[in-house]
Amino acid sequence: MDLDVVNMFVIAGGTLAIPILAFVASFLLWPSALIRIYYWYWRRTLGMQVRYVHHEDYQFCYSFRGRPGHKPSILMLHGFSAHKDMWLSVVKFLPKNLHLICVDMPGHEGTTRSSLDDLSIDGQVKRIHQFVECLKLNKKPFHLIGTSMGGHVAGVYAPPYPASLSLSLWCLQYSTDNQFIQRLKELQDSAAVEKIPLIPSTPEEMSEMLQLCSYVRFKVPQQILQGLVDVRIPHNNFYRKLFLEIVSEKSRYSLHQNMDKIKVPTQIIWGKQDQVLDVSGADMLAKSIANCQVELLENCGHSVVMERPRKTAKLIVDFLASVHNTDNNKKLD
């Protein structure tokens, strides 16, 4: 073989080896950095742009795609200890002509974290309304989606701010003391806040949390589990404070006290195999909310976004179409 050809292959092999070695090193040594790059890349691929907006000295971080149009904008509120990027798996299956906004909830990711902030459900509702007003979302009809803690906030948001609003609430209230809820009560009684199952500090605890939240058993490599833990550990003290606030008497029953006041079109989505918040909560909400549609997902746990993104995206689109058609018919009457 010609020496020049050999040299070409050597150079090409060396060129390819550098990014491959960099990837392997990142995976082994800095898995948390790899996870951040992954979300960055996924946002770019899906056309989601990150922006910041301020209400006085308070900063909100959010991502968005599209612009307001004749269809309602969609605002998505994530759950406890998550962030705006958790919605990307659903965004992937939503039409590109929709105006989508995913906000970091108070104290999470790029949104301001303050020791003076009211982290109760009512306090978070006030913050989300500030965000809505900053973006002027309430000037036109918009659809509010929330899952788990975010769903709790969305449900309590609707009664005082019903104008031009429709709701999708996912896995958000417990009505039955399942095994997880009983364990939480035991932890509260013993003040063992270091052992909250939703706040992992080791790869093993992270694996247990994923199994708790998902009916589907994902095989997650040890290095990725470590990366997920590394990303969370600096925030665990905040998560503990927030968790104790949202399960306190002040917040725990706030949706229960407000659900019969919800008058806007509402969609309930729940995984039938939810081990965190029992699926019986869907029936309780349906009985209390007048204009309500319930969707129960088979073979799905608490992490509806992660387990059934395509299905939930379709349910959202179909629900919005039905609400939009109803509104148009009312205008014609």
Residues designated as active site:
148, 274, 302
What is residue 137's DSSP assignment?
A: G
Contact criterion met (CB below 8 Å) for 266 and 239:
no
Contact criterion met (CB below 8 Å) for 304 and 271:
yes
β-bridge pairing 58-65 and 49-55: antiparallel
Q: Strand, coil or helix: what is 107?
A: coil
Task: Report the alpha-carbon angle 132-133-136, nearest 5.
Answer: 90
What is residue 302's DSSP assignment?
A: S
Counting every residue, how long is the chain?
333
Which residue shows structure tokens 């708790």?
212
- CA–CA distance, 50 with 63 (Å, rounded to integer): 4
Phi, psi of 161 (to 5 degrees): -130, 60
